[in-house]
Structure 1
Amino acid sequence: MFERFSKEAREVVIRTQEEAEALGHEWIGTEHLLLAALRHPEQPGAATLTRLGVTPASCRAAVAEVVSGTGDDLGPQDAAALRAFGIDLEEVRRRAEDSFGQGALDGPAGTEDSGAHGPAGRHRTRGGRALSRHLPFAARAKKALKDALGEALARKDRRIGVEHVVLGLSRSDDALSLGVFARLGVAPEILRERVLSDLRATAA
């Protein structure tokens, strides 16, 4: 499928790694696809997001608020449910890292003498600083990319562009994606309508 992506869309997929690493995340999700798409504000789809008032800074803040670095499958509803039982995920992470070091909750136990490798196979220096490695794509990100392909096929477009990635993201219905859009003040269905409207105007 990747060979069908335009140059800009390929860059979006590639840059998700940088976006995830910058936020200290252990996975690549829809939120990182959205951030990477905003690196191409002149491209269809991303340009629509810009006109709706979404900036890289506002998007990064929204992602940080929703995810809070707690893991792939924990969205805002999960965090709220745990808080109702007196469990603060950020406090748990802070205490664990104070006691056992940075990234203590990122992998299985029993890695105290791991040499050059830390939890979850992450490569580390002797000082314990994490080095870059390939991060896995979360199921929701894979779905968004498949939906991008579906959008291109439905429109009979020969290649998958940034616009199709954004359209794919607008179809995401998981709690984390919806939480990010809610904090940005952008309804996914409105985003989809605006992107399609912009594409029609361009084609006219």
Structure 2
Amino acid sequence: MFERFSREARDVVVRAQDEANKLGHEWIGTEHLLLAALHHPEQPGAATLARLGVTPASCRAAVAGVLPGAGEGLGPQDAEALRAFGIDLEEVRRHADESFGEGALDAAPGSGRTKRGRGRAAGPVTRHIPFAARAKKVLKQALREAVARKDRGIGVEHVVLGMLRCEDNISLAVFSRLGIEPGVVRELVLDDLRSAA
């Protein structure tokens, strides 16, 4: 099936893994596919979302709101809570940086993102992350969308159309936070495709 994907649609699938890595997730879900699709705002489907005001930043905020703690380190609220117990978070950070290398507290356990010790480059470490069943379903639905439209290949628009058919709680919650009614936006995407034909 992957050979039928356009270059941009393939990039969406590959970039979804990067998005999951950045957020410290152990799976690739529909939310990561959506984030990845938004990196192609000139492509049908993603262009419709962009026209409606959906951006990678607004989508990332929606995902973080649905999946609390996603990609977040220790922040001001954590520092305040620790201060109540007599713990100075900035002092802990300074000591951790001295002992384990700069940014040691910034890599979430199990996130696949690790900072390396002194004298070695720091940065994200990518690893293979499995697709969640709901993300696999979107990719299968993208194929069905292309077949139903009699399109020769699977593009970003088909992936977006597949996502807009999702009925799992996470997808629906992300759409809700973005102010998207999936059925309405699906019709807008289809209208845009008809206008472009």
Q: TM range, normalised to the smaller chain?
A: 0.7 to 0.9
Residue number in structure 2 paired with 1:164: 158
Root-mean-square deviation (CA, aligned residues, Å) is 2.7
Q: How far apart in 1 are the matches of 2:116 and 2:27?
A: 24
Total equivalences in the alignment = 163
Residue number in structure 2 paired with 1:62: 62
Q: How far apart in 2 are the matches of 1:53 and 1:10?
A: 24
Q: Radius of gyration: which is bigger?
A: 2
What secondary structure, in the 3-state scheme, does the structure 2 residue paired with 1:33 have? helix
% same residue: 67
Q: Which runs of 5+ in 1 are unaligned?
A: 71-90, 107-118
Residue number in structure 1 paired with 2:21: 21
Shift of 1:55: 0.7
What secondary structure, in the 3-state scheme, does the structure 2 residue paired with 1:25 have? coil
Contact 2:6–2:153 under 8 Å retained in 1 = yes
Which AA in structure 2 matches 1:146? K
Which AA in structure 1 matches 2:159? V
Residue number in structure 2 paired with 1:183: 177
Distance 1:47 1:27, change over 3 A: same
- Could you give the per-residue CA deviations for residues 146-191 of structure 1, whole angstroms, max 9, x where no partner exists? 0000000000100000000000000000000000000000110011
Residue number in structure 2 paired with 1:36: 36
Q: How does 1:65-144 map to 2 (within 5 A)?
A: 65-69=65-69, 106=110, 131-144=125-138
Q: Do residues 8 (structure 1) and 8 (structure 2) align?
A: yes
Contact 1:123–1:133 under 8 Å retained in 2 = no
Shift of 1:57: 0.6
Shift of 1:63: 0.4
Q: Do residues 47 (structure 1) and 41 (structure 2) align?
A: no
What secondary structure, in the 3-state scheme, does the structure 1 residue paired with 2:43 have? coil
